């Protein structure tokens, strides 16, 4: 079954601390993964996708096929990073619909 698991509902850190938001997936083909972010009172938006191999707002994520993981990392958290983060898997066999995890709320305290 195709599934995305985000084991933490809430991650609470202090400003300047490193952050790692965990994401594990289950997919029978070659996976394509994304991180979406939803800031308070804003709509869901794409943060980054693994095939781009880019860093957005200081965040990076590496696809680890051996561990079936796509963890989101940032070395030094900022207060403006506080948001809901969703890991998502592309279902290519299903017209490119997205399969989302349950989300992790990141709270960065001053």
> Binding-site residue total for other proteins (CB under 8 A)?
23
Residue linked to tokens 């997919």: 27
Gyration radius of the chain over CA positions: 13
By beta-carbon proximity to other proteins, the closer residue of 101 and 108 is: 101
Report the C-alpha gap between 101 and 98 in whole angstroms.
Answer: 10
Q: Is 94 in the site for other proteins (CB under 8 A)?
A: yes
Give me 13's structure tokens: 């850190």
Nearest one of 28, 20, 27 to 62, comparing CA atoms: 20
Query: Which residue stretch of 3-11, 13-21, 54-62, 73-81 sits at the interface with other proteins (rule: CB under 8 A)?
Result: 3-11
By beta-carbon proximity to other proteins, the closer residue of 8 and 15 is: 8
Q: Contact with other proteins (CB under 8 A): which of 61, 81, 103, 106?
A: 103
Antiparallel, parallel or unpaired: β 104-109 and 10-14:
parallel
Contact residues toward other proteins (CB under 8 A) are: 4, 6, 9, 32, 43-46, 86, 88, 90-92, 94-103
């Amino acid at each position: 079954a195709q599934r995305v698991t985000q084991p933490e509902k809430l991650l609470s850190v202090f400003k300047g601390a490193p952050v790692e938001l965990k994401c594990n997936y289950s997919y029978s083909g070659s996976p394509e993964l994304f991180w979406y972010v939803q800031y308070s009172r804003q709509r869901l938006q794409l943060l980054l996708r693994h095939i781009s191999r880019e860093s957005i707002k200081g965040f990076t994520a590496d696809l680890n096929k051996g561990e079936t993981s796509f963890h989101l990392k940032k070395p030094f958290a900022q207060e403006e990073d506080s948001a809901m983060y969703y890991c998502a898997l592309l279902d290519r066999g299903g017209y490119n619909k997205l399969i989302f995890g349950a989300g992790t709320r990141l709270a960065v305290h001053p």
